Amino acid sequence: MGRLLAIDYGKKRTGIAVSDSLQIIANGLTTVETSRLLDFLHDYLQKEEVSTIVVGLPKQMNNELSENIRRIEPFVNRLHKLYPNLQIEYFDERFTSKMAHQSMIDGGLKKKDRQNKALVDEISATIILQGYMESKRMNYK
């Protein structure tokens, strides 16, 4: 069973999280400059077996897609072309940044550390992946 990899795609930075090989636990991996994301993924996919890439789906409170979808869709289309055998799914990313900030507070991080946007993006990707895995578990019951 391959790992799951989650992407919190941003204009400047992209947070990345991965599961363990048994797809039980989500862990933050890193944050990458979005301009270097495809290179990073190429290198990572050469080293690790990944069965699914989960991409955060940017929705607004009214359930409509946000403007960031116009950057995400071309990226996802490119992934499909580069890795046709890899499953790619979207997962709602609403509130992940807010949840990331709250988890940083709950974890006792100092205010200065909580302003680290790269860390927020990585934690957001982890929350996306954890939510995705939980939704899959709920569907199996």
- Give the closest residue to 72 by CA, choosing from 86, 48, 49, 89: 89
The 10 Å Cβ neighbour count of residue 31 is 23
Instruction: Name the CA dihedral angle for 32, 100, 125, 15, rounded to a multiple of 10 degrees.
Output: -10
| Residue 14 to residue 25: CA distance in whole angstroms | 20
Q: What is the pLDDT of residue 105?
A: 62
Concatenate the DSSP letters of all residues of 51-74 into one string.
Answer: EEEEEEE-B-TTSPBPTTHHHHHH
Phi, psi of 139 (to 5 degrees): -75, -20
Q: Which pLDDT tens digits describe the chain residue by residue (141 residues)? A: 799 999 999 999 999 999 999 999 999 999 999 999 999 999 999 999 999 999 998 877 787 877 888 999 999 999 999 999 999 999 987 656 666 556 656 676 677 766 667 777 888 899 899 999 988 877 765
Q: What is the pLDDT of residue 73?
A: 95
**In order of start, what are the domains of the chain with their CATH numbers?**
3-140 (3.30.420.140)
Q: What is the pTM of this model?
A: 0.85
Q: What is the pLDDT of residue 116?
A: 60
Token pair for residue 68?
């960031």
127, amino acid identity: I
